[in-house]
Each structure stands twice: as C-alpha cells, then as structure tokens.
Structure 1
Amino acid sequence: MASQHNPLARMFPGRHRQALDPEERNVLDKIESKLPIARDAADVADERSTYGQRLADKVAAVGGSWSFIIVFAIILLGWMLLNSNILTHWGLAFDPYPFIFLNLMLSTVAAIQAPVIMMSQNRQSQKDRLAASLDYEVNLRTELEILRLHEKIDMAIAERLDRIEARLGLAAQNDGQPSA
C-alpha cells in the first residue's frame, strides 16, 4: 500500500504522506482503491446535518419565500380589519387599535425567526466550505491522474524511441558488415 502511495505522495513537493492534508490523503486512498472521489456536497451535508439544522433550513426556506410574505400579509390585514371594523361593531374586538397584541405577536415571530435564519445561513456557509473541499479533492485527483498519464505516455515514448534506436543501431551494424 505505502509503495503505491510513495510515487503519488512525491508529487506533493517536499511532503511525506503523514504531512499531507486530510483531503490529500483521502485522494491518495481513493486512487489506490480505484474508487471515485466525486460526491455531491448537498448529499454529504445532509448526511452530516442534525435535526435542528434541517429544521432551521426548512424554516428559513418557508420564511424567505413569497408565499410566506403573501400569506402573512393577508393574515395581518385580516387581523386589523377584524379588530378595527367588524368585531368592534359588536364590541367583541380582542385587540383594538393600536393592535398591541398583534405587535407582541410580530415581535415574537421576528425574535424567533431571525436566529433560525442566521442558523440556516451559517449552515449554508458550512455547505459552501464542504463543497469547496470536495471540489478541491476532485481537482487534486484530476491533476494527479493527468500527471500519472503524462508519466505513462512519456515512458511509452521513451521505450518506443529506445526500440527505434536499437533497430537503427542494428541496421547500421548490418550495413557496416561485409556480406557473406
């Protein structure tokens, strides 16, 4: 195993396998085992996420949508119409103008929604870092494979040139000898 890693590890100037980053070691391991390295960052992030992180993503997705804004605006307008005109007419308004209870509810929603959205944004930045790391692994593997292919092609060309030189050398020797 280590013997296969050594030529690849030498492609990292001045560093031994133990000094490589985890991503670089992962690439070498995948090359050795002939497994693909490419993975979907979203799938990997979802595998690593907790229930709270997935919930924060869903809340942020709903709270940051036009449907939420439209439905929320309709509810607010309905609340204000009910408590200013319709229920006031019968003396049943539970939150008359200036809508103090509505203000309390809106403040509570904002106080809860803001940190949840921040959690989702932090998670998105973690996903972006993960995607960058996975991209680095794929790019590194590609670069190493291209270097290996260059070496193979260079070796094949050198072997072919050696065979041609050997044939030319034999032909020159045969041309210099008298015929029997």
Structure 2
Amino acid sequence: MTNTRLKDLAARYLNKSVDTLAEEEQRVLRQIAEHRPTSRDAGAVAEEQATFGDRTADKVAAFGGSWTFIILFTVVLAGWMMLNSGALAWLGLSFDPYPFIFLNLILSTIAAIQAPIIMMSQNRQADKDRVAAGLDYEVNLRAEIEILRLHAKIDDVILARLDAMSAQQEALIAEVRALAAQPGSAPETRG
C-alpha cells in the first residue's frame, strides 16, 4: 500500500494527517486499503502478549478460585486437625497439637503468596479488557469509515444519475425548441 493512499484515506475519512493518527487508526486504514478484515480475537491477542508469569498467575488464580481447591483444602485441613488431635495425640506423636500454630503459619503463608498472585491475575484481566476495548474501537472505526465510504459511493451514483437525467432533460428541451422553431409546427390551441 502506498503512503499516498494512506494519506488520502486519513484526510478523507478522519480529517487528519497521517502523522497525527493513533496506531489503531493507522492499522484500520492500512487494513481498509489492503482489503483485509479488522476484527481480531481479543483473547488470542492477549495470549500473544502474555508472559510465562502471566499464564502461571492465571492458572493459580483459576485453581485457587475453584470448587476443587475448596474441597481439597477442606479435606486437608480436616485431616490435619483430626490427625493432630486424634490418632497422633493418642500416641503422643502429634507435631502440631491444638491450637494448631504450625497450621496457622502454613495458612498465613499460603494466603500471603496467593493474594499477590490473584492480584496479578486480576491485573492481567484488566489488561485483557483494555486489549478488547482497543480492538472494539478498531472495529467500530472501521465500520464508521466503511459507512462513510458507502455513503460516498451512493452519493456518486445519485449524482451520476442526476447528471444523466439533466442531460436527457436538456436534450428533450432542445428537441422541443427545435420542433417549435420549425415553420408550420406551431402548437395547436383549442378553444
């Protein structure tokens, strides 16, 4: 695509110079000029931009917010408490007797690690939302420009038809005048 074409599209449909266009606007105009679709999958774009840490945070947050985690964690906690207050306490081998101070330390550590990971995942979701909003803007801009282009085409067709009709009308007027100018072809009047 030529830079001239991009300048023409920018001036005609956005009333801007190419230098002042945002990246999204330039991308939309290039896609129009190259007859390529504008819409893209926001999830796929976000995944392309994701780092290993981003994907890991998403997986940890997804597991930490699932019923599987809640049920598994409940079973582990109940087992820990029963083991330390029941069977191991009876044998005198409990390693974390009531009030389960070691268990509290483990739970605090898990919460301290899990909270920032969940926040990372939430930040990543906000980034995904921004990507989706940007892609929506591109699609909306493309739709608006295409509507403007269709209006221009329809206006051109209407103007061409009006020009043709005007030319036909002028030809008919010329014929009527030529006929009226011929001797003996005066219009008849009825009385």
Answer whether contact 1:8 1:144 (CA < 8 A) is retained.
no
Which residue number in structure 1 is paired with residue 143 of structure 2?
142
Query: Matched residue pairs, number?
Result: 179
TM-score (norm 2): 0.90
Letter in 1 for 2:134: S
| Aligned pairs (5 A) from 1:24-173 | 24-173=25-174
State the distance in 2 between where 1:3 and 1:25 align.
13
CA RMSD of aligned residues (A): 1.3
SS at 2:105 equivalent: helix
8 Å contact from structure 1 (residues 41, 131) kept in 2: yes
Measure, in 2, the Cα distance between the counterparts of 1:48 and 1:5: 28
What is the TM-score normalised by the length of structure 1? 0.95
In structure 2, C-alpha distance between the alignment counterparts of 1:28 and 1:87, rounded to whole Å: 73
8 Å Cα contact 1:24/1:137 also seen in 2: yes
Q: Report the structure number with the largest CA radius of gyration.
A: 2
How many Å apart are 1:160 and its aligned residue? 0.7
- Deviation of residue 69 (structure 1)? 1.2
- List runs of 5+ in structure 1 lacking aligned partners: none
Paired AA for residue 168 in structure 2: R
Q: Percent identity?
A: 55
Q: 2 CA distance for matches of 1:168 and 1:105?
A: 93
Structure 1 stretches of at least 4 aligned residues deviating more than 3 Å after TM superposition: none
Per-residue CA shift, 1:49-86, capped at 9, x if unaligned?
01110000000000011221121111101110111012
Deviations 1:96-155 (A, max 9, x none): 111111111101111110110011011111110010000000100110011001000000
> Which stretch of the first structure deviates more once superposed, 146-155 or 90-99?
90-99
Relative contact order, CA 8 A, sep 6+: which one is greater? 1
- C-alpha distance in 2 between matches for 1:53 and 1:141: 31
Structure 1 CA distance for aligned equivalents of residues 5 and 164 of structure 2:
28
Structure 2 gaps of 5+ residues are: 184-191
